[in-house]
Structures are given as structure tokens and as C-alpha cells.
Amino acid sequence: MKNKKHIDVLQSLKYFFSLKDWIERTLSIGAIHITLIVLYLFSFFLSLIPIIGPFLCCFAYLFIVVIAILYAVYILGYKYALIEAIKSKNNIENVKFFNNIDKNFKKGFKLILGNLFYAVPLVLIYIFTYSLMLLPYIILGIQSESSDFNTSFASSILLVTSLVSYIPLIIAWIYQLFLNYFIHPSLLYLFSQNGKIRDMFNISKCWEFIKANLLNLLVYFAISTAISMCTGFAILLSMLLCLLCIGIFLLPVVMILTVSYSLHVQAHMIGQLIKLNE
């Protein structure tokens, strides 16, 4: 059954700046982003150290990956805490970024598992695509050892496989969008019912939620995409302004503000959507 009620987009867009501690939230989330970027740049300079540099760089990259994964898990848990508050009409001011750290990690980890389950087709598509890209080189490597090696035939194989490989890549890109903007909100809804991982693995219920809330999910997709595009443009403009030295100070501010704002807007829209289905 289709849900005829609609989410209040304007409320989602403006509520973040109505929070008394929106600057504190922005700095908390942005500080981790900036730290990861600084660590990445630092690891590059480590690679310049003679002899031990490459080893130090590898350890630094591994450390960054671990921190990034933990951050992604925690952010998802924090996002769910915001969604719960919005769904229950509780005061969002009480949901602090560094409150209930263990609870956010636990719920974020459970939600990550649900997302990974639906990401399996995406991984399989990418494996198939890159295997398809490597296949002509393997064939040509074998053929080049024979005396009747045909250069034009080799070029034809490379051309055909290169063109064909774009098809699964386009499919993967479309599925990635569908996963991020349609399946992900559905998983948050399913998880919110009982807080159990197995509920997210119910593909039929996930599909039913998407069909019943297709219009609202399309609005969620459109708003999220628009914010992403504005974010990209703002970051690009800030990078260009680095030539005038203004961007050196403006770029970090734009990055941390847009990341925090986007997170809270998405959480508010999904929270509304879940409430409409209860």
C-alpha cells in the first residue's frame, strides 16, 4: 500500500541551523575528517624517508583505513540516534555527537552489516568487470607467443572488451545509487522496528517499503543529490580560491560544514519517513 503522506523537506533543510550547538557538532564531525586528510598527507611525506619510508607509509595507510572504518561505523550509529529522536519527536539537542559512544558503535556496526549484505551484488559486478578488462590481456599474452600473432585481431579484442566493460560499470553505478538512496533508508526503517540485524536481511519487506514510499524516496534522492552537487561546487570553488590564499582558510570550513549539514538533513528526512510508516 502506497504511503500518501509526504516528508517536510523545508523543515529538514533548515532544522540543523536551528540547533543551539550546530557549530559544536560541525567541529566535532569535521575535526575527524580534517585529521584523516592530514594523516594521509603526512603518510605521503613518510614515504620520502630513505629505506624505512615505504614501510612507515604502509603502516600509516593501514592506520588511516582502520580509523576511517571505525569513523564510518560511528557516524552511522550517530545518524541512527538522530533518526530515533526525530521519529520519537524527542529533543534532538539531547543527541550529542560524543554521547553514548559504545551504543553508537554497536548500532553502527549492525547497520554496516545490513548494508554490506545488499552490497554483495555490487562487489560481484566489479569483480566481473575487472576480470573482463583483464581477459584480453591474458588472451593476447598467450597469442603473442605464437608465430601467427595478428595485431589487428588483438586491437579488435581490446576495443570490444573495453566497450563491453562499460555496461557492467554503468549497472554498478545505478545500483550504487539505488543502494545509497533507496535501500539504505529501507534498512534503517527495518532496523528501527526491533533493532535486530536479521530484520534487515528480509529482502521482500525492504522492497515493499521502497514501493510504498517511492515518491518520498525520490524526494530524498533529489535533495541528497542537490546537496552533494552544491558541496562539490563549493569545495571546487574553495580550491580555486586557494590561489588567492582565501581558499586555504575557506576550504576546511566548507568541507566540515557541508559534511555535517548533509548528514543531519538526511537523518531528519529518514526520521520523518520512518514515522510516516508507523
89-118 pLDDT tens trace: 777 888 888 888 899 999 999 999 999 999
Closest CA to 37 of 64, 5, 16, 19: 64
Q: In the prediction, which pLDDT does 118 show? A: 94
- Give the CA count within 13 Å in the CB-facing half-sphere of 277: 27
Q: Report CA torsion sign: 228, 233, 234, 235.
A: positive
Q: 233 is written with which cell numbers?
A: 561546487
For the cut 70, the answer to whether the pLDDT of residue 59 exceeds it is yes
What percent of the chain stands above pLDDT 90? 33
For the cut 70, the answer to whether the pLDDT of residue 144 exceeds it is no
User: How much of the chain is helix, strand and coil, in % rounded to 5?
Assistant: 85, 0, 15
Backbone angles phi, psi at 277, to 5 degrees: -100, 10
Give the C-alpha distances (Å, rounded to integers) separating 240 from 231, 251, 258.
Answer: 14, 10, 18
Distance CA 216, CA 214 (A): 6
For the cut 60, the answer to whether the pLDDT of residue 245 exceeds it is yes
Domains of the chain, by residue range, sit at 9-276
Within 10 angstroms of residue 106's Cβ, the number of other Cβ atoms is 14
Are 117 and 200 in contact by the 8 Å Cβ rule? The answer is: yes
Sorted by sequence, the CB contacts under 8 Å of residue 266 that are 6+ apart come out as 79, 220, 224
**Tens digit of each residue's pLDDT (9 = 90 or more) over 157-175:** 667 777 777 888 899 999 9
Q: In the prediction, which pLDDT does 143 show? A: 56
Comparing 239 with 29, which gets the higher pLDDT? 29
Q: pLDDT-derived band of residue 177, with 50, 70 and 90 as boundaries? A: very high
Q: In the prediction, which pLDDT does 247 show? A: 62
| Burial letters 243-272, b for 16+ CB under 10 A, else e | eeeebeebbbebbbbbbbbbbbbbbbbbbb
Comparing 151 with 216, which gets the higher pLDDT? 216
For residue 222, give the amino acid letter. Answer: A
Q: Give the mean model confidence (pLDDT) for residues 251-270.
A: 87
Closest CA to 97 of 2, 29, 199, 13: 29
What percent of the chain stands above pLDDT 70? 87
For the cut 90, the answer to whether the pLDDT of residue 190 exceeds it is yes
For the cut 60, the answer to whether the pLDDT of residue 24 exceeds it is yes
For the cut 60, the answer to whether the pLDDT of residue 43 exceeds it is yes
Closest CA to 118 of 195, 206, 211, 190: 206
- Give the CA count within 13 Å in the CB-facing half-sphere of 223: 25
